[in-house]
Amino acid sequence: MKEIHGRRSCPWWKSQIIQKYGIGTWIWKKIMSFENYKYSVDKDPYEWCLRQSKRLKAIDPQMNTQMSNHKLLTQMPRELEHAVKRRCNQNCTLDEIANTLQDFQREKPFRVEFKDKPKERVAEVAKKKNYCHNCGSTDHYANNFPKAKKKVYVIEKIPEEESPTEDSDSDYMADAIREQSYEEQDPREEFLVE
């Protein structure tokens, strides 16, 4: 098709692609290519930022810089995304993001991602066996102790000598009335001058 039409402008090619494939399919392919091309340390930051920004412009030409920066940052690893957010403001240019990424490549060598250790190296911790607190056996727990439990019921009869008399009841009532009068008295009344 390029041989037939020669060199034409981007909008003309875009209109030809829309006529042939439809707008939805074309935009969907651009979105998929944007999402699949994530940033990694081995890629050139300038080339990566330029390609991704062109894809974003193709998807939505009216997208503002703040939104495009946000979408670019989501295509980076989380640690790098946070570091770039700290160094650049929301309305920074594409060059500032690329410079920041290049600074990180020069200053801090990135760690290799953590890989799971083989299970052979990890020594299995022996589980602590539960036991009965009454007898020390591991067959059962203290709440399911098989032997009969000794139950103590203490019911004592009060001897008649210690039973309260009528005189002691009256003293008891007098004490209760005195305590009640203290509780009802306002503590601020002690300091009032008449």
Q: What pLDDT, on a 0 to 100 scale, did the predictor assign at position 123?
A: 57
The two tokens of residue 74 are: 């989501």
Q: How confident is the model at residue 47 (pLDDT cuts 50, 70, 90)?
A: very high
Evaluate whether 100 touches 88 at the Cβ level (below 8 Å): yes
Evaluate whether 58 touches 30 at the Cβ level (below 8 Å): yes
**Nearest alpha-carbon partner for 88 in 151, 150, 36, 45:** 45
The pLDDT tens digits of the residues spanning 66-84 come to: 899 999 999 988 888 888 8
175 three-class SS: helix
pLDDT > 70? residue 176: no
Q: How confident is the model at residue 14 (pLDDT cuts 50, 70, 90)?
A: confident
Q: What pLDDT, on a 0 to 100 scale, did the predictor assign at position 107?
A: 77
Q: What pLDDT, on a 0 to 100 scale, did the predictor assign at position 113?
A: 58
- Phi, psi values for residue 136, rounded to 5°: 90, 5
Predicted TM-score (pTM) of the model is 0.46
**Nearest alpha-carbon partner for 54 in 90, 105, 10:** 10
